[in-house]
Amino acid sequence: MKLGGTLRMLGLRSDVPLLMAAADVFCLCSRWEGFPNVLVEAMASRLPAVTTSFAGVREIIDDGPDRIAREVDGDDDGGMAAHVVELLADPAAAAALADAALASVRRRFSWDRLVRDLERMYADFLAGIIEDRREVRDGDGL
């Protein structure tokens, strides 16, 4: 397939938020990534997303009983295209998906949430150290 007239590789860009703002749908076609930050960034930009399925994606798009993106198997090009066409043809459904994704990102991936989670992690860690020291001190002389 020749894509010369329809596909352009843009290279390194410093205006990614503007590019996302100009998009109608975000597609993530990776087979694997640890944690695809770009998907969170797209959802934070209020873009409806269509993505291939892998563990890192499910960590982001599984928000309780809700799915906040459309998901297809890794080699399902037809499914990817069908979801994109469906979202382009139904602006209300696309907006609802984008709104749900944005709300989830704000709730689950905000700086405030990150700070709270880190504080809780450190508090739990320190509580464990203090408890371990008490066990040694009160133990059998170790």
Give the model confidence (pLDDT) of 47-57 as tens digits. 999 999 998 89
pLDDT in tens, 88-113: 999 999 999 999 999 999 988 888 98
Prediction pTM value: 0.75
Percent over 90 (pLDDT), the chain: 54
Residue 139 belongs to some domain of the structure: yes
Q: Does residue 44 sit in the same domain as residue 93?
A: yes
What domain range is 104 assigned to? Answer: 16-109
Residue 6 belongs to some domain of the structure: no
Q: Does residue 120 sit in the same domain as residue 99?
A: no
Residue 95 near residue 39, CB atoms below 8 Å? no
Residue 4 belongs to some domain of the structure: no
Residue 11 belongs to some domain of the structure: no
pLDDT in tens, 5-20: 777 788 999 998 899 9
Q: Does residue 41 sit in the same domain as residue 105?
A: yes
Q: Does residue 84 sit in the same domain as residue 118?
A: no
